Amino acid sequence: MTDQTPLVRIEGLSKHFGKVVALDNLTLDIARGEFVTFLGPSGCGKSTTLRILGGFERPTSGRVILDGEDVTSQPPEKRNVNMVFQDYALFPHMTVAQNVAFGLELKGMNKSAIRRRSDEIMSFLELESYAARYPVQLSGGQRQRVALARALAPDPSLLLLDEPLGALDAKLRGQVQQELKSIQRRTNKTFFFVTHDQEEALTMSDRIVVMNKGKVEQDGTPEELYFRPASRFVAEFIGETNLLSGRMRGTEGDKVVMDWEGTTLLGKAPAGLPAKGEPITASVRLEKLGFSVERPQTANAVQGRVVGRTFLGSRMAMQIAVGEGNALLKAYVDAETGRSVGTDPVWIGWEADNMAVLNN
Amino acid sequence: MNDRPELFRGNRIFLACVYWAFVLYVFVPLILMVVMGFKDSKFIGFPIRSWTLDWYTGVFADAEVLSTFGYSTAIAVLSTLISVFVGIWIAVMLEGRRFWGRTAVFGMTVLPALVPGIISAIAFRIYARWLGIEPGMGAIVWAHAVHNVPFVVLVVMARLSTLPRSQIEAARDLGADPLISFIRITLPYLVPAILGASIFCLLLSFDDFVRSFFLGGYEPTLPVLIFAKLRSGMSPEINAIATIALILTAAIGIWAERFTRRMNKET
Ligand SMILES: Nc1ncnc2c1ncn2[C@@H]1O[C@H](COP(=O)(O)OP(=O)(O)OP(=O)(O)O)[C@@H](O)[C@H]1O
Ligand SMILES: [Mg+2]
């Protein structure tokens, strides 16, 4: 897209429900054609943000700018934004075709244009053979696609999706995730997706906004969030990780030196440097820890003893007691290596770039 | 543990007896009424020596009965239309909204259904005279409509409360203003409730005696006609009229019940 101005500008958005602060001064830009995911635990304000964007809720303060126009006080029917609801909200007394045509009719299109557009979108989502069915006669996955078709038909500039896969079983979910992502790519539409499932967010998004208690915790690509979490909350919320609690010792180049269980470790520095001697936490992913009998050449190396293992098919999760035995590390190794490790002390090594020192 | 089943069985038999006694108590008079309509004699009572259909053919030949039937039907249809229109309006205004005085409005809406018939009939009569409304069809329709509104309101409110909020939001999201989303989404959703309430109102109006009696002009409704005929002496013709009315209302009631149940299942 040639247009570089953001599609959506959220400026200082706050929403209070009585004493509950659902959103606290949220500021955010969404670029055109982006697949943005709002991720966070239950009650962190994801749906509230979406509902404000859709026009179903008025913010307590702040503005929403859509395509350069302030839409904060516009009712939903005036906005060129459509929503896929968590319960799909298909109209039960209308067929699939009538559901899809609903938004087109209200745009004042003529009959043949409506026909053409709804046929186009239904064939795009492979729904032609269900056109004459009623929503009760469809499976969960089919309903989900009808909801998507209905929302896409009027050609909105922004599509809002509030946990649209929550009602699907695990297997179908994975399949629909891929489908959604590919639909987004092919239509080149801006998708604003809400979920509390971190795996889903990592799979589908160009960009993830992690929310906590009405505030943005971190905003970045899935890789950034996964390998360079900005806070303990993000590190714990996304994927499984080892959290090491130690003390700040100093810096070495752009790295932080940290005291942990009687050794010194090197890690990537956080945005604001903690003072010397302060307690700090570092995060290192399970798959970044390497096993060896000899001391490895990595920047960080500690010796420990395997105290537990869990067989996971192609790989094994190992628990290693380190130092005096009161610190536990978890690591993934391939099943072969996992079986060969005995009760003798082993070396665990990892690179400084794979450990993020966090602001608590 | 051992004597429990015994106890249960005793209870069950007792309950079954009570149930059947109740059924008999309700249905024997009805059965007697129907049977007497076929008796070939002017006097109601046993023994029945010979049978006839004359009373029924008489009903269908009786111009007065037929026109009264039409009159009652017209009153029922008109009053139902008014009750349904007003009832939906009030239900939509009350359901899911909070405003000052909501409870008071709700209470006043339901009140007409709770006031004893004779009292509300007299009140209507006085009020009608005060307003200068002549006794007759208009007055009866008005009284029936007011009396039936609460049933429409309650049934429609119950159905409305089960309409997911997301349905209306989805309609608004796709470009419908509040009025269009009411017409295209809310109303279709309410159809089973509206149908059920309409049938109930029709039957209530058709069946009403007290209000029709107090507010009627020279032309009697069917229950009022039956009452008038009774005063000039009981005859099997009345049984025949009553049986026809019974069959008609029961048929409509059963059909409506099954129809609304099917519609409820579908949505
Ligand atoms: N209509 C409302 N009235 C009162 N409080 C509300 C209302 N809607 C949301 N809240 C509160 O605002 C906060 C944020 O709610 P929101 O629905 O945005 O959470 P969420 O992130 O979508 O959570 P979930 O993952 O459970 O859907 C919650 O504490 C919730 O209780
Ligand atoms: Mg939510």
pLDDT digits (tens, 9 = 90+) for B186-209: 999 999 899 989 999 998 998 888
Token pair of A27 as six digits: 């500021």
Q: Which residue of A has its CA nearest to B265?
A: A136
| Phi and psi, residue A90, nearest 5° | -70, 150
Strand A315-322, strand A346-350: pairing: unpaired
Residue A1 within any structural domain of the chain: no
Residue B157 lies in a domain: yes
Å between A92 CA and nearest CA of chain B: 6
Q: In this prediction, what percent of chain B has a pLDDT beyond 90?
A: 33
Identify residue A213 by its one-letter amino acid code: K
In a domain, B111, yes or no: yes
Ligand 1 centroid – CA A144 distance (Å)? 23
In chain B, residues with a C-beta closer than 8 Å to the C-beta of A81 are 173
Highest mean pLDDT pick, A96-105, B59-68, B124-133: A96-105
Q: Is A2 part of a structural domain of the chain?
A: no
**Binding site membership of A48 for ligand 1 (Cβ less than 6 Å):** yes
* Arithmetic mean of pLDDT, A110-135: 91
* One-letter identity of residue A148: L
Q: Do A72 and A163 reside in the same domain of the chain?
A: yes
Residue whose CA is at the smallest distance from ligand 1 atom 27: A42
Residue positions counted in chain A: 360
Q: Per the structure, how many domains does chain B have?
A: 1
What is the rounded average pLDDT for all residues in chain A? 89
Least confident of A26-35, A218-227, B97-106: B97-106
Measured distance CA(B235)–CA(B222) in Å, rounded: 16
The residue ranking higher by pLDDT, A172 or B185, is: B185
Both A81 and A223 in one domain: the answer is: yes
Q: Would the CB atoms of B173 and A76 count as touching at under 8 Å? A: yes
> pLDDT-based confidence at A350, cuts 50/70/90?
very high
Residue ranges making up the domain that contains B217: 54-266
- Helix A111-124 and helix A140-152: axis angle, to 10°? 140
Task: Decide: A91 in ligand 1 pocket, CB within 6 A.
Answer: no
pLDDT given for residue A169 in this prediction = 80
Q: Tell me whether residue A29 is in a domain.
A: yes
Domain boundary among A232, A258, A278: A232
Strands (E), A2-79: 8-17, 20-30, 35-39, 61-66, 69-70
Position B2 scores a pLDDT of: 52
More confident call, A160 vs A272: A160
Number of other residues whose CB lies within 10 A of the CB of residue B219: 14
Residue A66 has pLDDT above 80, yes or no: yes
Mean pLDDT within A203-213: 91
- Per-residue pLDDT for A2 more than 70? no
A27-36, A263-272, B158-167: least confident range: A263-272
- Asked whether residue A261 falls in the same domain as residue A228, the answer is no
pLDDT at B3 over 70: no
pLDDT given at position A151: 93
Within a domain: B94: yes
Question: Which amino acid type is present at position B219?
Answer: E
| Nearest ligand 1 atom to alpha carbon A40 | 21
User: What pLDDT is stored for residue B256 in this prediction?
Assistant: 81
Answer yes or no: is the C-beta of A196 below 6 A from any ligand 1 atom.
yes
Residue B170 CA to residue A81 CA, distance in Å, equals 11
Most confident of the ranges A170-179, B131-140, B172-181:
B172-181
CB A107 within 8 A of CB A154: yes
Directed axis angle between helix A170-187 and helix A140-152, to 10°? 20
Q: How is residue B182 written in tokens?
A: 């009411």
Domain contains B24 = no
CA-based nearest distance B97→chain A, Å: 16
Residues A204, A276, single domain; the answer is: no
pLDDT at B250 over 90: no
Confidence of residue A1 (pLDDT cuts 50, 70, 90): very low
Is residue A7 helix, strand or coil?
coil
Q: Do B167 and A91 touch (CB under 8 A)?
A: yes
A57 and A205 part of one domain: yes
Same domain flag for A290 and A315: yes
| Neighboring chain B residues of A136 at a CB cutoff of 8 Å | 266-267
Amino acid at A270: P
Q: Is the pLDDT of residue A3 over 70?
A: no
Q: Rounded mean pLDDT of B133-150?
A: 90
pLDDT of residue B267 exceeding 60: no
Closest CB to B185 among A56, A91, A154: A91
Distances (CA, A) of A208 to A38, A86, A220, A256: 6, 19, 6, 26
| Mean local confidence (pLDDT), A169-189 | 86
Give the closest residue (by CA) to ligand 1 atom 12: A22
Q: Which chain A residues are within 8 Å of B177, Cβ to Cβ?
A: 75, 77
Mutate: best of B163, B165, B173, B194, partner A, most A CBs <10 A: B173
Rg (C-alpha) for chain B, rounded Å, is: 24
CA A108 – CA A141 distance, rounded (Å): 30
CB B181 within 8 A of CB B168: yes
Strand A263-268 and strand A279-285: the pairing is unpaired
Classify residue A153: in a domain, yes or no. yes
Question: What is the interface pTM, i.e. ipTM, of the complex?
Answer: 0.81
Average pLDDT over residues B216-222: 85
- pLDDT at position B91 is 93
Interval A327-349 mean pLDDT:
84
Query: Could you tell me the two tokens for B50?
Result: 């010979």
List CB contacts of A4: < 8 A, sequence separation 6 or more. Answer: none
pLDDT surpasses 80 at A323 = no
Contact B260/B252 with Cβ under 8 angstroms?
no
Kindly list the residues from chain B whose CB atom is less than 8 angstroms away from the CB atom of residue A85. Answer: 166, 169-170
Q: What is the CATH number of the domain that holds A251?
A: 2.40.50.100
Nearest to A183 by CA among A259, A270, A125: A125
**Ligand 1 neighbourhood includes A277 CB (under 6 angstroms):** no
A149 CB less than 6 Å from ligand 1? no
- CA-nearest of A255, A295, A76 to B175 is A76
**CATH code for the domain of A119:** 3.40.50.300
- pLDDT above 70 covers a percentage of chain B that reads 96
Q: How far is CA B227 from each of CA A136, B71, B87, B231, rounded to the nearest angstrom? A: 51, 16, 31, 6
* Cβ pair A354, A225 in contact under 8 A: no
Question: A219 and A250, same structural domain?
Answer: no
Q: Determine, yes or no, domain membership for B107.
A: yes
In a domain, A3, yes or no: no
Q: Which residue has the higher pLDDT, A26 or A272?
A: A26
Sign for the CA dihedral angle at A60, A62, A66, A70 comes to positive
Share of chain A above pLDDT 70, in %: 99
Where does residue A261 fall: left (phi above 0), alpha (psi -120 to 50 degrees), or beta otherwise? Answer: left
CA A281 to chain centre: 23
Please tell me the number of Cα atoms within 13 Å of A132 on its side-chain side: 1
Pick left, alpha or beta for residue A166 (phi over 0 → left; psi -120 to 50 → alpha; otherwise beta): alpha
Q: How far apart are CA A184 and CA A156, in angstroms?
A: 13
- pLDDT-based confidence at residue A135 (cuts at 50, 70, 90): very high
In a domain, A74, yes or no: yes
CATH code where residue B210 lies? 1.10.3720.10
- The domain of A220 spans 8-232
Q: Specify whether the CB–CB gap between A256 and A248 falls below 8 A.
A: yes
Q: Which two tokens stand for residue A248?
A: 């700040």
Residues A87 and A198 in one domain: yes
The pLDDT assigned to A143 comes to: 92
Q: Do A115 and A191 have their domain in common?
A: yes
Using a 10 angstrom Cβ sphere, with 0-12 exposed, 13-18 middle and 19 or more buried, the burial of residue B181 is buried
User: What integer pLDDT is reported at residue A211 of this predicted model?
Assistant: 92
pTM: 0.79
Query: What is the C-alpha separation between A164 and A46, in angstroms, rounded?
Result: 13
Ligand 1 atom at minimum distance from A196 CA: 25
Q: Is residue A184 part of a domain?
A: yes
Q: Give the gap in angstroms from C-alpha A56 to the nearest C-alpha of chain B.
A: 7
Q: How many domains would you assign to chain A?
A: 2
State whether A215 and A265 are in the same domain. Answer: no
A interface residues, B as partner, C-beta within 8 Å: 54-56, 75-77, 81-83, 85-87, 89-93, 102-103, 106-107, 136, 150-151, 154
Calculate how close chain A gets to B190, using CA atoms only, in Å: 11
**Chain position carrying tokens 């007759």:** B136
Q: Measured between CA atoms, how close is A108 to chain B, in angstroms?
A: 10
- CB proximity B98 to A under 8 Å: no
For the segment A130-148, the average pLDDT, to the nearest whole number, is 91
* Overall size of chain B counted in residues: 267
Which of A93-97, A124-128, B215-219 has the highest average model confidence (pLDDT)?
Answer: A93-97
CA angle, residues A227, A228, A231, in degrees to nearest 5: 125
> Is residue B113 in some structural domain?
yes
Instruction: Specify the residue with its C-alpha closest to ligand 1, atom 22.
Output: A47
Confidence of residue B158 (pLDDT cuts 50, 70, 90): very high
Q: What is the mean pLDDT of residues A278-287?
A: 88
Mean pLDDT of B49-59: 79
The last residue of a domain, from among A198, A232, A266: A232
Which among A13, A14, A15, A17 is the best mutation to test ligand 1's pocket, defined by most ligand atoms within 8 Å of the CB? A17
Select from A232, A248, A280 the last residue of a domain: A232
**Separation of alpha carbons A117 and A110, rounded Å:** 11
Q: Determine which residue's CA is closest to atom 11 belonging to ligand 1.
A: A22
Residues A215 and A68 in one domain: yes
Pairing, β A290-292 against β A279-285? unpaired
Nearest residue (by CA) to ligand 1, atom 1, is A17
Distance CA B40, CA B105 (A): 55
Averaged pLDDT score across all residues of chain B? 86
Same domain (yes/no): A278, A228: no
In a domain, A294, yes or no: yes
